Amino acid sequence: MISVIVPIYNVAEYLPACIESILNQTYKNLEIILVDDGSSDKSGEICDYYVKRDTRCIVIHQSNKGLSEARNAGLECATGEYISFIDGDDYIHPKMLATLYEALQQEDYDFSMIAHTQTWNHHIEKEPKMINSIIFETSDLMQGLYNVSSKKISLPECNFQAVWNKLYRRNLIGSSRFITIATEDTEFNNKIFLKTQKAIFLDQCLYYWVQRPSSITHQSVNKNFIDRAYSYLFCLNQIPKNHKEYRAYCLEKLYKTAVNVQYRARNTEIYNYAVKTAEELRVKTINEFISNTHINIFHKISLLVFYYIPFTYHIFIRLLELKHQLNNKQK
């Protein structure tokens, strides 16, 4: 059985399409756990309606505790051998769970993951053709998680950070839980990937990631955005000291994010907070960042220059923008 955990907070407009897409899966042996995280709209009522309509649905009503605690509540309740997370404002293709499940039955993969597509509506596309399937080992997964350039993982539809495009074996998750930080998905997968021997990616867009103006990915720079840089320190602390290559991936991502948040926060009232956060990270990690030989020397020097001389990063961004404009004119 697959336990599908759906964290829900004020998404009444999108929730019926999400739940209907789960109920309409060709794989029927489901436990659908709807976690209403203190919604103030009609999301809770919608959950209650579906619990009465289909015995596979379970609802948990709790005070607002945030996305991480909503997912954790679902994990505590789940009884399935497999675990899937679907966000309450997204929806999935009718064959998504069956496709992920069947992939896990082929071989002893720890989890399977599917490609996704962004959409602004609730239209279910015709079933996309399977383009390819790729086997990932731990090193590949860690590179993907921290956006390290690699020919094997350069797949725009493959989201390594998200939990919503994956089907995990329950015994892989074990006692691992989400913590309340800005990049809870990345931190959770950091723990999971370190325990993974082998996973399979299916290059077939069966998860529909709904884009909406109020979603976190479309918010302007705020404290939560800046905290994303600090959250990579949590990830770094989880990686064993002897895994220097994996720590290098995380360190480089940490510095890139720290540089970027300072740039994005310029001319805002939270700029000082961004600078303070970046400096705290530098103090805690600078020695290892400099000494880790798995970090490309050019990347290392560039990031240090960008960090200590911020205007150089401004120039770099401007040059990238000009290059992009020139490329568009030549097309």
Q: Where are the domains of the chain?
A: 2-210, 223-329
Whether residue 159 has pLDDT greater than 50? yes
**Which of 227, 276, 285 shows the shortest CA–CA distance to 251?**
285
Whether residue 217 has pLDDT greater than 50? no
Task: Report the predicted TM-score, pTM, of the whole model to 2 decimal places.
Answer: 0.88
Do 115 and 217 form a contact (C-beta atoms < 8 A)? Answer: no
pLDDT band at 148 (very low <50, low <70, confident <90, very high): confident
Q: Quick one: average pLDDT of 180-185?
A: 87
Listing DSSP states for 84-115 in one string gives EE--TT-EE-TTHHHHHHHHHHHS--SEEEEE
Least confident of 52-56, 65-69, 202-206, 218-222: 218-222
Structure tokens at 186: 């990345």
Res 158: pLDDT: 82
Q: Quick one: average pLDDT of 258-266?
A: 87
Query: How many other C-beta atoms can be found within 10 angstroms of the C-beta atom of residue 67?
Result: 18
| Burial zone of 250 (CB within 10 Å; 0-12 exposed, 13-18 middle, 19+ buried) | buried
Angstrom distance (rounded) from CA 316 to CA 282: 21
pLDDT band at 182 (very low <50, low <70, confident <90, very high): confident
Query: Which runs of E-coded beta strand occur in 41-197?
Result: 57-62, 82-85, 91-92, 111-119, 133-137, 166-169
Angstrom distance (rounded) from CA 192 to CA 190: 6
| Burial zone of 157 (CB within 10 Å; 0-12 exposed, 13-18 middle, 19+ buried) | middle
Listing DSSP states for 204-229 in one string gives EEEEEEE--TTSGGG--S-HHHHHHH
pLDDT band at 125 (very low <50, low <70, confident <90, very high): low
Structure tokens at 156: 């725009």
Q: What is the CATH number of domain 2-210?
A: 3.90.550.10
In the chain, the largest separation of any two C-alpha atoms, in whole Å, equals 60
Res 151: pLDDT: 59
Res 19: pLDDT: 98
Helical spans, DSSP H, in 175-270: 184-195, 223-238, 244-264
What's the Cα-to-Cα distance from 15 to each of 58, 96, 141, 169, 280, rounded to whole Å?
15, 18, 31, 26, 40
- Write the Ramachandran bin of 38: left for phi over 0, alpha for psi from -120 to 50, otherwise beta: left
Instruction: Give the torsion sign (CA, 128, 133, 158, 199).
Output: positive
Whether residue 98 has pLDDT greater than 70? yes
Angstrom distance (rounded) from CA 73 to CA 269: 36
